[in-house]
Amino acid sequence: MCGIIGFVSSENTKAAVLIEGLKKLEYRGYDSCGIALVHNQEMALYKTKGKVKVLEDKLDKSLEGTSGLAHTRWATHGEPNDVNAHPHQIERVTLVHNGIIENSHELRKFYEMQGVTFKTETDTEVACAVLNDCMNKTNNKIEAIQKACTILKGSYAFGIFFDDELDKIYAIRKDSPLLLGEGKNIVFLASDCSAFLETTNRVLELNENEIAILDVTGITIIDEEGNEVKRESKEATLSLEEIQKDGYDTFLMKEIHEEPMVIKKTFHHYMKKSLNDLNETMPSLKKYKRFIFVGCGSAYHAGMIAKTLMEQKARVISSTELASEFRYSNPILDDDTAVVFISQSGETADTLAALRMCNEKGIDTFAIVNVLGSSLAKEAKVFLPTLAGKEISVATTKAYCSQVAVLSLLCLKKAMEENKLSREEKLAIENEIERLPLLMKKYINQTSVEKIADTIQHHNHVFFLGRGLDYALSLEGSLKLKEISYIHSEAYAAGELKHGTISLIEKDTPVITCITNPDLVLKSISNTKEVETRGAKVFLLIREDLYSNLMDASAVILLPKVHDVLQGIVSILPYQLLAYTVAKKLGCDIDQPRNLAKSVTVE
């Protein structure tokens, strides 16, 4: 949530360096934005509601400075408007903030009683007041920042200007990401290195509670004890190509087309030649009698697939938990339990808090995460990367697919350890894994979802039905449609609809049923008939070998038949294409849907 970029340069630099940086960070929040630019030792603030483009259009193109801080916001405290946009300023301190100050309410009251008048409703302005107060008391910037951070509860990455030293930026972080960049005559701080990659690919990490000082001589890092830390910059793992659309109209479409390559890369990382390689690339799972899969949103849906596979293939008790519930549920955990956390960003607040809770209890934690170096990746006992590369579209596609791939392998490893996988089945799965990327590529290029999209775009409510793994797919398909097309939809376990929700079915209500399990075809078809009888317009997503033309439907999309362990990976593709196609027809902002942000670092 929220993106930060700042720079200090020994020469006058166009404000465009901040604007372009903010555009790269917009996936983190995009309801308002602002910059503080220092020119000839004078600071000017420019803030606006809306996206970075709105700010860009308001700014004089020739605007330049020698240092600057910029911010793109996902509002937590205070509606998105010009005033609540960052940077915020109180007397000696100007700052930008990513995170949330949980005790801002009490602190605001305290400072109001001291005579401070707040101009905004934000928690960030309160942090400004705290730091300004600490600065007034100590007159030492490092001490003031350290003291302020003992008072502020919550998460933060701060970029800070002090009014008597506008050629320096101070930075500190806790539970929110912040990286540093070293270029020629210019240094940066940013929530993610994509923001400064066009200028430099030399990156330095900033650990929690260290303070970075950026000035014309470079970057100085100070540890908690006040000692200088020597740290060399490294080459960024991200390339410029990865953050460009590459001819596609949206990042979402680009990322859907990258799925075959991502799946190939991910499987190849864990198994060079055969499933036996999992013995080297994943730790032993022999001691575990129970698995709990934890995540939020799509990551939770990936966990639902894992639960089904772990129980079906390895016959080991498993469950899936929403991180936001799990962390407060006082769960019963023991040494035989492995808790597997799933996250694209590796920074999701609830998932991270749930992981920390398990770590504190001494429970074995696994993290299936896409962003290397993220908090989840660092703090879990076992880190299993997904290899989706940078995902920019707010709605996840390729990272989700890659999560399902790693989870499938985890389940297969456990199944092998439990002697539940025959030699023949192992061989069959290995062969299927080999042909999967090409099959997915063909499928993406050849599948048309136009007919369903044409109908759905005119409706306010859509239902998705499925059983077992198909229910998990329906949940993910429904989430994709909701978040990027704003059409309300609900996914139901196909047998459950008649226990209440079927009352919502009326003439022409679109219902999309997914069928990939041969044992449940008749059951799912019966459930589909029940809604059709009540007027629903039925669409079928069905595995090609299970379809018969006796099945009534307004349109049918055939799914390729693959081994059931891999079925979830291919079967999500038409749902992703459908959400994209509907959103496109409705003219929605596909990569940056309203109210959302890619990395949810607040509770």
Catalytic residues: 2, 598
C-beta of 182 vs 321, nearer to ligand F6R: 321
In 3D space, the residue among 372, 199, 359, 197 whose CA is nearest the CA of residue 294 turns out to be 359
Minimal distance, residue 191 CB to ligand F6R, in Å: 14
The tokens of 244 are what? Answer: 């460009």
The tokens of 233 are what? Answer: 């910059």
Minimal distance, residue 57 CB to ligand F6R, in Å: 29
- Helix or strand holding residue 451 (H, E): helix 450-456
Minimal distance, residue 596 CB to ligand F6R, in Å: 8
C-beta of 213 vs 491, nearer to ligand F6R: 491
- Helix or strand holding residue 386 (H, E): none
Minimal distance, residue 374 CB to ligand F6R, in Å: 9
C-beta of 89 vs 592, nearer to ligand F6R: 592
45 torsion bin: left (phi>0), alpha (psi -120 to 50), beta (else): beta
Cβ neighbours of residue 171 closer than 8 Å, sequence gap 6 or more? 6, 157, 158, 159, 160, 178, 180, 189, 206, 211, 212, 213, 214
The tokens of 112 are what? Answer: 């109001």
The tokens of 231 are what? Answer: 């740290």
What's the rounded Cα separation, in Å, for the pair 73 and 1? Answer: 7
C-beta of 233 vs 375, nearer to ligand F6R: 375
Q: Which amino acid is at 392?
A: I
Minimal distance, residue 587 CB to ligand F6R, in Å: 20
Instruction: Give the CA distances from residue 287 to residues 4, 277, 363, 412, in Å, rounded to whole numbers and listed in that order.
Output: 43, 19, 12, 15
Minimal distance, residue 600 CB to ligand F6R, in Å: 5
- Residue closest to ligand F6R, measured at CB: 297
In 3D space, the residue among 106, 109, 111 whose CA is nearest the CA of residue 128 turns out to be 111
C-beta of 260 vs 297, nearer to ligand F6R: 297
What's the rounded Cα separation, in Å, for the pair 278 and 256? Answer: 27
- Say if CB 295 and CB 434 are below 8 A apart: no
Cβ neighbours of residue 350 closer than 8 Å, sequence gap 6 or more? 296, 322, 323, 324, 327, 600, 603
List contacts with ligand F6R (CB under 6 A). Answer: 296-299, 343-345, 348, 351, 395-396, 479, 483, 599-600
C-beta of 124 vs 601, nearer to ligand F6R: 601
